[in-house]
Structures are given as structure tokens and as C-alpha cells.
Amino acid sequence: MVLDDNHNWVGGITAQVCWNWLEIDYFWVHEDYRGEGLGSKLLENAEVIAKQIGAVQAKLTTFDFQARSFYELKGYQVVGEIKDYPPGSSFYTMVKVF
């Protein structure tokens, strides 16, 4: 979790390592802090910690209206898609090999 100077949450990530996979559950950066590198740092830190305890791959899910392009820039690839979920959108499972 990342706090601002007033101790308000501005970002965070929750994840676990299972079967040598980093499984990213929740990843959030307040819109006022997006584009400043905070999300990249959070994701990189989670990956570094996961690798230290044996993870060799990572997985996450996202919607096309969320952060698919961000994850692709970080080396994640779409391995599954549910179209029209929610209606007019897609839901993706993405994977990265370390």
C-alpha cells in the first residue's frame, strides 16, 4: 500500500504466490497519481518479491476499459478473453513469464 503525505491510500497491490505463480488479486492506483510511475513501481516490487520466493510466472485479470495496455507494456500477454463481459467489453486473463 502507498500512502500520501496525509496518510490516505493512493495505491496498492495484493497478491500471492501459489505453485510458483504470482497471482495478482487487486491492483489499484488513485486516478490523481496515475501516469507518475507509481503503478509501475508497485507491480515491479510485487514481481521482485515473488521471484525471490520462487515465482517463475505471473497472472492477473483485467477488463479492456481498465489496464490491458499497461500490462502489455510490462510484458504481460493475453491468454484468455471473455467477450461481451460486461456487455460491450471484454475480460482478459494475462500472463507474464519471468
68, 82, 76, 80: which is closest to 95 by C-alpha? 76
The CATH class given to the 2-97 domain equals alpha beta
What is the full per-residue pLDDT of the chain (98 aa) written as tens digits? 899 999 999 999 999 999 999 999 999 999 999 999 999 999 999 999 999 999 999 999 999 999 999 999 999 999 999 999 999 999 999 999 99
Give the per-residue pLDDT at 40: 97
Spatial separation of the C-alpha atoms in residues 98 and 65, rounded to whole Å: 26
| CA 3 and chain centroid, separation | 18
Residue type, 82: I
Give the per-residue pLDDT at 76: 98
Give the per-residue pLDDT at 90: 97
β-bridge partners, 63:
91
- Cell numbers found for residue 76: 504481460
Question: Coil, strand, or helix at residue 45?
Answer: helix
